[in-house]
Amino acid sequence: MIALYHYPFSQHARRVVSLLEEAELKYELKHVAMDKSEFLSPEYTAINPNQQVPTFHDGNIIIHESNAILRYLCFKHHLNTWYPLELPQRALVEQWLDWNQCRLSGCVTDIVLNKVFLGDQGDPSAIKRGEENLQQLMDILSTGLEGHSFLAGNQATIADLSVASNIFQLGIAKAVPKNQNILDWYQRVNLIKGFAKSLPEHSLT
Ligand SMILES: N[C@@H](CCC(=O)N[C@@H](CS)C(=O)NCC(=O)O)C(=O)O
């Protein structure tokens, strides 16, 4: 049985839920109360030494790093539509998965963590840095979407699930991008049932 240590406001955890749902795999969600700092507890640190969500268990296999979990699931369950075998598409999927982690993720964290989740403790200089970087990143994403419906062509892949989880996160901080290509693409991703199912049931109060 698959178990996923999860928090509904974690974009990294939600992208895994999107794929589990799309692949119709059975899984159990183990709630990590990040709002109560449960991710820092000794019990959770023993599960994931990074003190981060998600962590994924499949029998004896334990994985942290959300995109690695997506790749694992695709390989194990032959989800070749989500993770295409053809080299040109595969190259684009890899590019956007890594871009999401290496370029976009830090910017989203700067903005959303500091503006929303940390409240009065948020660091204004991190928000400023994030907001300064965001438009350049959104222009890169928008250019990448030029001429096709999804990031690696006309079929949604794990790259779309991964990047779109960060675009939802920006919405929490009311920092939704304005680029039309991105808005149109994000609407298409929202029509993917697994993505819609992964979204938090309640908004933050
Ligand atoms: N690279 C990791 C990042 C995971 C991550 O940053 N998770 C956030 C929640 S969305 C977290 O646990 N943050 C707590 C922290 O980093 O202290 C992944 O892709 O799984």
Query: Which residues' Cβ are closer than 6 Å to ligand 1?
Result: 10-12, 39, 51-54, 64-67, 101
pLDDT at 122: 97
DSSP 27: E
In the CATH scheme, what is the code of domain 2-77? 3.40.30.10
User: 144: part of which helix (H) or strand (E)?
Assistant: helix 124-144
158 by DSSP, 3-state: which? Answer: helix
Separation of alpha carbons 44 and 65, rounded Å: 15
Which residue's CA lies nearest to atom 14 of ligand 1?
52
How much distance in Å is there from the Cα of 115 to the middle of ligand 1?
A: 17
Which residue's CA lies nearest to atom 16 of ligand 1?
52
pLDDT at 48: 98
| pLDDT above 70 as % of the chain | 99
pLDDT at 74: 98
pLDDT at 152: 98
Same fold, 2-77 and 87-198: no
How much distance in Å is there from the Cα of 163 to the middle of ligand 1?
A: 15
**Exposed, middle or buried, 143 (CB in 10 Å: 0-12/13-18/19+)?**
exposed
**Chain mean pLDDT for the chain:** 97
Phi, psi of 151 (to 5 degrees): -65, -30
Separation of alpha carbons 17 and 187, rounded Å: 19
How much distance in Å is there from the Cα of 18 to the middle of ligand 1?
A: 17
How much distance in Å is there from the Cα of 11 to the middle of ligand 1?
A: 9
Phi, psi of 7 (to 5 degrees): -140, 130
pLDDT at residue 98 greater than cutoff 80: yes
Cis preceding-peptide flag for 84 (omega within 30 of 0): no
3 by DSSP, 3-state: which? Answer: strand
Which residue's CA lies nearest to atom 10 of ligand 1?
10
- 143-197: pLDDT as tens digits: 999 999 999 999 999 999 999 999 999 999 999 999 999 999 999 999 999 999 9
pLDDT at residue 204 greater than cutoff 90: no
- 114-136: pLDDT as tens digits: 999 999 999 999 999 999 999 99
For the chain, first and last CA: distance in Å? 33
pTM: predicted TM-score of the whole model, two decimal places: 0.97
CATH fold of 87-198:
Glutathione S-transferase Yfyf (Class Pi); Chain A, domain 2 (1.20.1050)
Domain range summary for the chain, segments of one domain joined by +: 2-77, 87-198
| Residue 29, CA atoms < 13 Å, CB-side half-sphere | 16
pLDDT at 205: 58
Q: What average pLDDT score do residues 84-108 get? A: 98
pLDDT at 203: 73
Q: Which of 177, 45, 153 is nearest to 91 (CA)?
A: 153
Which residue's CA lies nearest to atom 6 of ligand 1?
52
pLDDT at 202: 77
Instruction: For ligand 1, pick from 7, 39, 50, 52 the residue to mutate: most ligand atoms within 8 Å of CB.
Output: 52
